[in-house]
Every structure is written in structure tokens, then in C-alpha cells.
Chain A
Amino acid sequence: MADTGDKTVLIVDDEEMVAESYELYLGDEYETIVEYSGGAALMELDQREVDLVLVDRRMPGMSGDVVIDHIDKWEMDFQVIMVTAVDPAVDIIDMPCDGYLTKPVGEDELLAAVERAFSIKRYEDLIAEYNQLSEKYEVLTAQFSSRELAAEDRFTELETRMEEMESEIAETVESFSDSKLSDAFNRLH
């Protein structure tokens, strides 16, 4: 499992007891911040860096939908998990969130969902970096002969890094606690 100690989770739920229980479930693994309204959550996001937002969908005043719409428009780079008491409908397709949990949410389920969201983020970051390296690799191999490239230490380093990243990507996919998700990513390779 990836090191989770430096990750911060913002919990947003208007029910104080519910928010506190999420804090209890996540507190051993992550740093947590709690807000009880959508507006307060957006103000918090404006001032602090977080890695994941766990937001209740239905809240008085600003709903969870509005909160994640703002997050999407502001192009903030963190994971979002929506929690709701209502079974998901087709509208979640357009919802800019990385996870969806149906209440009641217990400790194991919440920890698994947060861990999965971070694994997906890690996977996305690795793929983005790998694609960058891969582009450079393609350009260089088209421009120079393999003998010329073999003499370049930096090209050898590039090849080594790409091999390392391939292993990291495979390990990340394997680490998904949800075997169906793991299977889905494996099918992509």
C-alpha cells in the first residue's frame, strides 16, 4: 500500500455525527479536515491543499453537486468521492467525481473507497509521466541509430526509468483492492 501519512482528506457533511465518524474511520491513515456545509468547504479549498474531498450529496444550502461542479470548474487536481443516501442514477455519468458511495458507509467501505481513489490517481499520474517519456523515446529512436543512443548515458537512464515505471504501473493496478477494477485496468494493457 502506498504511504498515506501525508495525504489530506476534506470531509463535508452537514450531519455533525456523520462527519465525525468519517474522521474517526480515516484518522489513523490520513490527515482530515471537517466542514459542515458546501460553502465552508469551498472556502477551505481556496485556502488549503487537500488530496481528496469526501462530500455528502444532499446538504441544505449548497448541495454536494454544486460543490463538485465548482471543483470541476476551478480545475482542482484532487480526487472527489460523493456520498449519498440515494441509489445512483444514470446522472452520475456526467458527475465530475472519482467515487460514489451509498449510505450507510462503514469504516471498511470508506477506507477501501479512499484507498482506491488514491490508487487511481497514482495510476493516472504514472500513465501521464510514462506517456511523456514514451514520446521522447519515440522521437529519439527515430532520430538516432541504436548505436548512437547506446553511447548516451541519459538515453540509457530514460530506458531504465521507463522499465521501472512499467513495473510501478503493474504494481499499482495489482494493488487495487477491488478485483473487478484491477481486471478492468489489466484489460486496458
Chain B
Amino acid sequence: MGDRDRPLFVGPSALASRIETELDGKLAVVESTAAVNEQCGGELPTCIVTDHAPPTRDCFELLGSADSPVIVAPADGGTSELATRALRAGAATYLDPTTVDDGPAAIAAAVQRCAVGGELPGVEARIEEFSSIVSHELRSPIQTAKSGIDLAKAQCDNRYLDEVDETIDRMDELIDNLLELLDTGETTIETTGVDLEAVVEAAWPDGAAASLSIDDDLPTIEAERSRLQQLLENLFRNAVDHAGKEVEVRVGPLDDIPHGFYVADDGPGIATDRREIVFEYGYTGSAEGTGLGLAIVKEIADGFDWDVTVTDSETGGARFEIYQQQIT
């Protein structure tokens, strides 16, 4: 078997031998980036898996010169910055083996995906990998900061600590929103008939001071359950942010549009001239908002070919109406 038929691993031999075992011995191995050309001798390996530990192993050197697809797998763990840079530089896959149960097996699986017709992981897989890295790299320091603030608050009473605490909570919410946004950006949507009432109940936050009432005869609608739940969670969170913790929220069917429904609250409502821009990224009408919640609602609705519009509720609050886009 020539090197053309085999994947090439650039990295520590201990990890290489474990990947090689997973691949039944079909792996060429070199320990440094500089040795890649010498090993290949003009042949193209099916793909190159590389650690990133400069100067011996520099994935960006390979990404700039290799003709084979490159899988970047930092053996000692990576960072979100490395993931972003590697994917931008053209890496076929970024895989941090320390974040999965069995790193060598995960790398071998990625190699096999390359080997089968040279297929690369799709956009969704890359988004998922990226999302996982971002999630870990951002939430861990948020936890550390929050822990530090709580420990400090236990020792002294200081209003600045409360303000920092609130800021950290806002950052946490922003991260949640950003991750939701990444999730919403996935391309494949598989819909099925979903019991709307059950999803409304699942989306309603446990222990909330706000109250929820659900009209009879909520329809079964064609949707992907997890995204529909995310849409409803964002609408409920929006109601609390804008109308207060004790807001009354009502969900019911639209009278004149089959399979349409509304989410209404008894808060201050949304002024007529703001009803379009509330769905824009970054727009927020409250100190607690991140400016992403309703943008994500719109994004999810668009994915289902739904329209979402704002009007007044019976009590003068906001009423969001969600329904299948009308063909004109």
C-alpha cells in the first residue's frame, strides 16, 4: 500500500499508535510538520491529521501548503481561538480529542469519513464542534467568575459585587443566545406533527413567578420539537424581561389561521413603530435583554417558513402571532 492510500498522522507516537490500532494499521506517521514532504515523497495521503504544538508541529504550515484535507486534533487540548483560526484557515475538521470520551476513536472516525470518497464532515458537524468548543471555553470562566463573586459576597457586602454579578448573568445569557444562534443556523430541519400544548408546558420555566394559561384546542403543528421549544422559551423569557417577573402569559390558537398560534402577555406592549425592529439582532428594549432573543425567534420561524408578527394583546400587552407563511 502506498502513502497515497493511507492517511498521515503528524504528532506524538503514543497517540498515533492508538489511532493506528483503531484504523487496523492503516496509518503513516511522522512526528513533525517538516517531515511531511519527506514521508509523502510527492504522493498525496487521503488526509492529514495533525497535532498543533509549534514549532515542531504547526497546523497552519500544513493548512497553507497541503493538498490533502487536514484534520486538526490538538493532542493536549485546544482552545476556541485555535478552533476558529484552524477552521478559517481551511481545516476540514477541528477535533479536540480531550473533549470526547475516546479521542483516538473519534480521530479515527474522522479519518474514515475522509477516506470514504474523500467526504468531509458537513457544515452542521463543524458548527457542532465549534459550538461545543465555544461553549466550554466561555462557560468555564463564567463559572469561575460567578464562584469568585459569590465567595466575595459571603465575606463582604458591596454593591459593586452585585453589579458585577448582574453583568456576569447577562454574559451567561448572551452566551446561551449565541449558542442557540449557532444551533439555529444548522441547515437540515426535519419536521413532524408536534403537540403544541405539550411543548408550551415543557418550555415554561419551572418555579417561575409568572403565570401561564393555555387556551383549549391548541393545534398540532408541523415543526421540529426542539426548535419550537427554543422559540417558545425565548418568547416567555422576553415577556418576563419586558413585563416583569409576575407577568401573565397566555398561549392560544389563532381564530382565522389554521395551525397558527399566539403568545400574549399583560405587560406594557410594543409600540407600533417598533414592531418590525424588535426582531433585529442587537435590538433590546430592556436592561435585561441581550438583543438576540427575538432575533432567534424570527430565525427559527423563518426556518419553518412561518411568519411571526407583533400586535396588541387584549390587555394592551404584546401579542406575538406565529403562523405558516401565506402564499400570495
Please name the residue on chain A nearest to B145 by beta carbon: A104
CB distance from A179 to the nearest CB of B (A): 6
In the complex with contacts A15-B144, A24-B154, A85-B135, A58-B99 CB distance below 8 A:
yes
Could you say which of B98, B131, B143, B147 contacts A20, with CB atoms under 8 Å apart?
Answer: B147
Q: Is residue B179 within 8 Å, beta carbon to beta carbon, of the partner chain? A: yes
Specify which chain B residues have a CB less than 8 angstroms from the CB of A21 in the assembled complex.
146-148, 150-151
Residues of B within 8 A of A85 (CB): 135-136, 138-140, 143
B206 within 8 A of A: yes
Q: When chains A and B are docked, how far (Å) is the Cα of A15 from the Cα of B146?
A: 12
Count chain B CB atoms within 10 A of each CB in A65, A85, A180 and give the residue with the most. Answer: A85
Instruction: Note all chain B residues with C-beta closer than 8 A to A65.
Output: 101
Least CB distance from A24 to B in Å reads 6
A87 to B179 Cα, complex, angstroms: 10
- Chain A nearest CB: distance from B180 CB in Å? 10
Q: How far is the CB of A87 from chain B (nearest CB, A)?
A: 6
Complex formed: what's the CA distance from A18 to B139 in Å?
12
Q: Does the CB pair B151–A103 fall under 8 Å?
A: no
A91–B168 CA distance with the chains assembled, in angstroms: 29
Distance to closest chain A CB from B199 (angstroms): 13
- Is B209 in contact with chain A by the CB < 8 A criterion? no
A86 within 8 A of partner (CB): yes
Pick the residue among A86, A87, A104, A179 that contacts B206 (CB under 8 A): A179
Q: Contact between A87 and B135 (Cβ–Cβ < 8 Å)?
A: yes
A18 in contact with B143 (CB, 8 Å): yes
Contact with B along A2-26 (1 / 0, CB 8 A): 0000000000000101101110110
A107 CA / B154 CA spacing, docked (Å): 12
Please, what's the 1-or-0 string for B131-172, where 1 marks a CB less than 8 Å from any CB in chain A?
Answer: 110011011101110111011001000000000000010001
With A58-B99, A178-B206, A179-B206 given, is the CB distance from A106 to B136 under 8 Å? no
Which of A18, A106, A177 touches B144 (beta carbons < 8 Å)? A18
Counting CB contacts under 8 A, is B122 at the interface?
A: no
Interface residues of B in 86-111 (CB under 8 A from A): 98-99, 101
- A129 to B150: give the CA distance in the assembly, Å: 41
CB neighbours (8 Å) of B143 from chain A are 15, 18, 85, 103-105
- Judge whether B136 and A86 touch: CB under 8 Å: yes
Query: Interface on chain B toward A: helix, strand, loop, or mixed SS?
Result: helix
Interface residue? B202 (CB, 8 A) = yes
Chain B, residue nearest A15 (CB):
B144
- Given A20-B151, A104-B146: A180 in contact with B206 (beta carbons within 8 A): yes
In angstroms, Cα B312 to Cα A31, docked, is 52
Q: Is B207 an interface residue (CB 8 A)?
A: yes
- At the interface, yes or no: A102 with Cβ under 8 Å from chain B? yes
Report the nearest A residue to B135, measured CB to CB. Answer: A86
* Complex-state Cα separation, A42 to B179, whole angstroms: 34
Which B residue's beta carbon lies closest to that of A105? Answer: B143
Provide the bound-state CA to CA distance between A22 and B143, in Å. Answer: 11
Q: Known: A178-B206, A179-B206, A180-B206. Contact between A17 and B142, CB under 8 A?
A: no
Alpha-carbon separation in the docked complex, A48 to B261 (Å) = 56
Q: In the assembled complex, how far is the CB of residue B145 from the closest CB belonging to chain A, in whole angstroms?
A: 8
Q: Closest residue to A25 on the B side, CB-wise?
A: B150
Query: Could you say which residues of chain B place their CB within 8 Å of the CB of A178?
Result: 206
Q: Quick check: A103 and B140 within 8 Å, CB to CB?
A: yes
Residue contacts A-B, CB under 8 angstroms, 10 given: A17-B148, A24-B154, A85-B136, A86-B139, A87-B179, A103-B142, A104-B142, A104-B168, A106-B150, A177-B207
List the 10 closest A-B pairs by CB distance, nearest first: A21-B147, A85-B139, A103-B143, A104-B143, A85-B136, A85-B140, A18-B147, A103-B139, A104-B146, A104-B142
